[in-house]
Amino acid sequence: MSAEQPTEAPPAGGSLADRVSKPEGSEPAAPAEKIDWSESVSPNDGASELQNGSNLQEPEYNVEVKLSDLQDDPNNPLYSVKNFSDLGLDENILKGLSAMNFRKPSKIQERALPLLLSNPPKNLVGQSQSGTGKTAAFVLNILSRLDLSSEQMQKTPQALILAPTRELARQIVGVVQVMGQFLTGLLIGTAVPADSNSRPTKLEASVVVGTPGTVMDMIKRRTMVAARLKVLVLDEADNMLDQQGLGDQCIRVKGLLPRDVQVVLFSATFPAHVHRYASKFAPSANEITLQHEELTVEGIKQLYIDCSNDEDKYQTLVNLYGLLTVGSSIIFVKTRVYASEIEKRMIQEGHSVASLTGGIEGSQRDAVIDEFRSGKAKVLITTNVLARGIDVSTVSMVINYDIPEIHQPGKQEKQADYQTYLHRIGRTGRFGRVGVSISFVSNRDEWNMLMQIGKYFNVDIQRLDTTDWDEVEETIKKTIRNPRSNATFGK
């Protein structure tokens, strides 16, 4: 996409389906299930309220538990808990839960917490949808295992949480801070890439949250002591173990830790090949899983728009701008260059947008995401760096400017990246709210990938007819005016 590209008229009438032949043997996706809009009261997850995070309104889903030890008894009273008080937690941790407005465990927490908290500690591989309480579950386990009895132990790393991005690491720090606010002596450290001119300092904290490369570097430089670590958590574990660079770094970090460290892996998705690898990374682990058919995010209206070329994509984005700024919106593009070009062009034309990619300095990234959380920045253009885990309750719309794809050099047919699509659209409709995702398609490859996504998740991704923008606006507003949305639309 470039500002200098010649403009072509958008397609008149007829969808891309009429202009691009469908793959042979493809079938229309089954209609999406009706959404139950009934309200429920459940705890928070993701970012804290101070970080403009969301409340969890839990959908129905089945939890499958696979116990590594066949002698574990499902009839044991602690196999599944209905109240946090049944877990024998420190009163100050229970006070932290209360401050976060936790009333009772979510379904995943009912099963995960007894397994996590059992002694001797056992590894856990947990797959659960966004907004089902996984962050709170592993933080609760960590806080319950800390020894804060002396100043020396308070400054000694005892738990390590690894995340794929600095933004998710900082969000997790916020959860630990709020949940552990009544624990005397709790120190939290962040190990993320520093700005180029900063000097490394010794990390003195009982809980460390960071990214794999920085943590590995700090342990090797001895600015972080790993000898007393009891718990290792990988959040967004499928992404961490599947990416070659991150996967190698995670293995090296684990190799630098005590052999008896409890390994906890959590993610919303676990493709089969990554799951096999996860089983080796966390041997003899208890498992909590969902089938991929159950993973489609409820409450998100999934739509697409036909575009004739890249320039038409940009013009379509501009036409949507008024809707993007009612709540908050995230626009996902495939490269940093695209993000930068779109940001510059929209700002030149008088639109207020921000861009966040892995190519900018850490402190600047922090400032951008903080502005987005606070609502000062309404529209954020980003790459997949923000596709996972980030919880901002005001996000009412996600734009897939480019369909996420798996990089397959040498292969003719492009393959959609189902997991990234799911994580991207999960940035809206957070924790039982409603939201809208709109995917732009402009050629045969993008159309085929969108059809792959619809078939995989058994969902009907509906076309928006852009020959009538009033109708487009009404369709989107109608969805987000729902009482379960966090955005406020003028009537």
Which residue ranges make up each domain of the chain? 63-292, 300-481
Query: CA-to-CA distance for 162 and 174, rounded, in angstroms?
Result: 14
Kindly report the backbone phi and psi dihedral angles of residue 249, in degrees, each rounded to the nearest multiple of 5, phi listed first.
-65, -40
Task: Provide the pLDDT for residue 42.
Answer: 36
- Residue 305 identity (one-letter amino acid): I
Architecture of domain 63-292: 3-Layer(aba) Sandwich (3.40)
Query: CA-to-CA distance for 107 and 109, rounded, in angstroms?
Result: 5
Kindly report the backbone phi and psi dihedral angles of residue 25, in degrees, each rounded to the nearest multiple of 5, phi listed first.
80, 0
Query: CA-to-CA distance for 271 and 165, rounded, in angstroms?
Result: 20
282-236-204-260 Cα dihedral, nearest 10 degrees: -10
Integer CA distances (angstroms), 356 to 77, 244, 371, 373, in order? 47, 23, 11, 13
Divide the 491 residues of the chain into consecutive groups of 10 and give the mean pLDDT of each group. Answer: 41 43 37 32 46 50 58 50 83 91 81 90 84 84 96 96 89 93 95 71 93 92 94 89 79 93 87 80 84 56 93 93 85 91 91 82 82 86 78 83 88 87 78 78 95 90 90 83 46 34
Residue from 332, 387, 336 nearest 358 by CA:
336
483 preceded by a cis bond (ω within 30 of 0): no
Question: What predicted TM-score, i.e. pTM, was given to this entire model?
Answer: 0.68
Task: Provide the pLDDT for residue 481.
Answer: 65
Q: Do domains 63-292 and 300-481 have the same CATH topology?
A: yes
Give the CATH fold of the 300-481 domain. Answer: Rossmann fold (3.40.50)
User: Which 8-state DSSP code applies to residue 86?
Assistant: G
Q: Which residues contact 248 (CB under 8 A, 6 or more apart)?
A: none
239 and 269 in contact (C-beta within 8 Å)? no
